């Protein structure tokens, strides 16, 4: 156990390099390597995260489970993942993402394989709950690396491109799982992503590294001369204690609480559309499972585009402010849900278009609320801040499981859409007060640490 904990410890800082040309060369190489690694790694996390959703109709027919039982499994996963996201965020801020993220991915692959071997609801709940817990190991590493390797003025674009890994993974799920479940049974549909993610976890372990300082490079803010506030420049690059992370930079930060509450309602919508849309299309609109699965891909395509647009708009149009994009997208989500509910589907093209619109609008705030939480906290508390908001988000995701399944069972799909429209409006009202808040305002950082001597590197990467 001690050796495992030692493996997770942050990589020690190396003596800082002094040659500006070598620093530029190393930063260019490692920024790209870190980025494609966390992009692919998180995409693979999604293979084992949503595999059950696309095996659901076949599993339902084979084992006779009802919507309430299926929703119960979704809720157990969401609760486990939400709790893990907060706990793992605290650990992740003080861990080496190279091992923390890769070990989590390997274990989620094993959980999918064990789930595929089970046949009882109790074992399904056990293995799917464990899967949810180890899924929480993915986000903290990404948040830590994105805040240490990419500075504030550019982070919206980098984070938005990384966020499309959700959609790449989400688009691969129906291709792999629906095909395997349809033609070889739902068990094979669970085995395939499990095996893929074990291999992907070993790949991550080889590719990732920790902070720039662990490779002898200066902090990203100093390298790019891109400080977010007057006092941010003065902060020393040291590891914070758990007490400082929790009580100085997260739990006493009112911005984090507002973002967390809005995330709760955004994730009810996101999870409901993601988890229940294929069943809605099969039951209410008469599509085949393969036809419905092919349509759900457009939700991910929309999310891919929406993430890029949201990140670019927050950087370029709103000058690094995430609030305006979050509020506007949530308002439009409510309008789109109401339109989809009130306007009957007239064709495959129309339903696919609406799923594209849902993805476009949902993945904007899904990304930017998490980013805002990281930026409105301390850089060394980014994983904890996003973990805390993520915990609230997946409490919402849990509501989209069993409770929403019961609402749909008792009140039909009309009750489903009324609930989602109300959630969108509440999220909009919560987010509008953050319209003018910009990341890392000086009052959030009240450091008394002495100013560091700046390295004379002016090259922008």
Dihedral (CA of 298, 140, 103, 270) sign: negative
Task: Give average pLDDT by consecutive 10-residue segment, the chain, 461 residues.
Answer: 66 90 94 96 88 75 75 82 82 86 95 92 92 91 88 80 82 77 82 93 95 92 71 51 71 86 93 84 78 80 88 83 89 90 76 90 88 77 78 84 84 90 94 77 40 36 35
Q: For residue 34, what pLDDT is reported? A: 96
Residue 108 C-beta-side C-alpha neighbours within 13 Å: 35
Q: Residue 102 is encoded by which pair of tokens?
A: 């890769």
Q: For residue 234, what pLDDT is reported? A: 41
Q: For residue 458, what pLDDT is reported? A: 37
Q: Rounded to an integer, what distance in angstroms lies between the CA atom of residue 293 and that of residue 56? A: 11
CB of 215 within 8 A of CB of 13? no
CB of 277 within 8 A of CB of 345? no
Q: For residue 376, what pLDDT is reported? A: 77
Q: 10 Å Cβ neighbour count for 129?
A: 19
Q: For residue 98, what pLDDT is reported? A: 93
Domain spanning 29-210+253-438 has what CATH number?
A: 1.20.1250.20
**Alpha-carbon separation of residue 436 from 323, 364, 439 (angstroms):** 7, 18, 10
Q: Rounded to an integer, what distance in angstroms lies between the CA atom of residue 99 and that of residue 10? A: 10
| Helix H or strand E encompassing 205 | helix 186-207
Query: Cβ-count burial of 24 within 10 angstroms (0-12 exposed, 13-18 middle, 19+ buried)?
Result: middle
Query: Which residues are CB-neighbours of 390 under 8 A, at least 6 positions away?
Result: 82, 85, 86, 89, 139, 263, 370
Q: For residue 127, what pLDDT is reported? A: 95
Domain limits, the chain: 29-210+253-438
Q: Rounded to an integer, what distance in angstroms lies between the CA atom of residue 2 and that of residue 9? A: 11
Q: For residue 1, what pLDDT is reported? A: 47
Q: Rounded to an integer, what distance in angstroms lies between the CA atom of residue 266 and that of residue 430? A: 11
Going by C-alpha positions, the residue among 106, 111, 113 that lies closest to residue 128 is 111
């Amino acid at each position: 156990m001690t050796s495992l904990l030692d493996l997770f410890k942050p990589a020690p800082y190396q003596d800082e390099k002094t040659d500006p040309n070598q620093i530029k060369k190393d930063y260019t190489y490692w920024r790209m390597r870190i980025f494609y690694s966390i992009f692919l790694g998180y995409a693979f996390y999604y293979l084992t995260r949503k595999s059950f959703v696309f095996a659901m109709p076949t599993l339902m027919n084979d084992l006779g489970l009802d919507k309430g039982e299926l929703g119960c499994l979704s809720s157990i996963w969401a609760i486990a993942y939400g709790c893990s996201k907060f706990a793992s965020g605290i650990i992740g801020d003080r861990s080496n993402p190279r091992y923390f993220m890769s070990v989590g991915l390997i274990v989620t692959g094993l959980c999918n394989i064990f789930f595929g071997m089970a046949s009882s609801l109790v074992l399904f709940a056990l293995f799917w709950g464990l899967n949810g817990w180890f899924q929480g190991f993915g986000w903290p590493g990404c948040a830590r690396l994105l805040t240490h390797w990419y500075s504030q003025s550019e982070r919206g674009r980098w984070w938005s491109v990384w966020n499309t890994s959700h959609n790449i993974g989400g688009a691969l799920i129906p291709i792999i799982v629906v095909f395997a479940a349809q033609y070889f049974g739902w068990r094979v549909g669970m085995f395939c992503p499990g095996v893929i993610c074990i291999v992907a976890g070993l790949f991550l372990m080889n590719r990732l590294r920790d902070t720039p300082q662990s490779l002898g490079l200066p902090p990203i803010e100093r390298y790019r001369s891109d400080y977010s506030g007057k006092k941010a420049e003065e902060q020393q690059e040291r590891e914070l204690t758990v007490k400082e992370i929790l009580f100085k930079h997260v739990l006493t930060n009112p911005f984090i609480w507002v973002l967390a509450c809005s995330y709760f309602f955004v994730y009810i919508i996101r999870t409901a559309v993601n988890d229940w849309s294929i069943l809605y299309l099969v039951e209410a609109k008469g599509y085949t499972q393969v036809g419905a699965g092919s349509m759900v891909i457009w939700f991910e395509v929309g999310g891919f585009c929406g993430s890029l647009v949201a990140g670019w708009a927050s950087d370029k149009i709103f000058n690094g402010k995430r609030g305006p994009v979050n509020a506007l997208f949530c308002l439009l989500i409510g309008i789109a849900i109401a339109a989809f509910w009130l306007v009957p589907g007239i064709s495959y093209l129309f339903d696919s278009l609406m799923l594209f619109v849902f993805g476009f609008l949902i993945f904007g705030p899904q990304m930017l609320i998490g980013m805002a939480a990281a930026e409105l906290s301390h850089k060394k508390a980014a994983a904890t801040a996003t973990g805390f908001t993520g915990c609230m988000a997946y409490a919402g995701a849990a509501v989209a499981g069993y409770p929403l399944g019961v609402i749909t069972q008792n009140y039909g799909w009309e009750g489903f859409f009324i609930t989602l429209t109300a959630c969108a409006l509440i999220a909009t009202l919560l987010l509008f007060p953050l319209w003018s808040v910009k990341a890392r305002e000086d009052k959030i950082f009240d450091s008394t640490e002495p100013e560091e001597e700046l390295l004379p590197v002016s090259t922008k990467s």
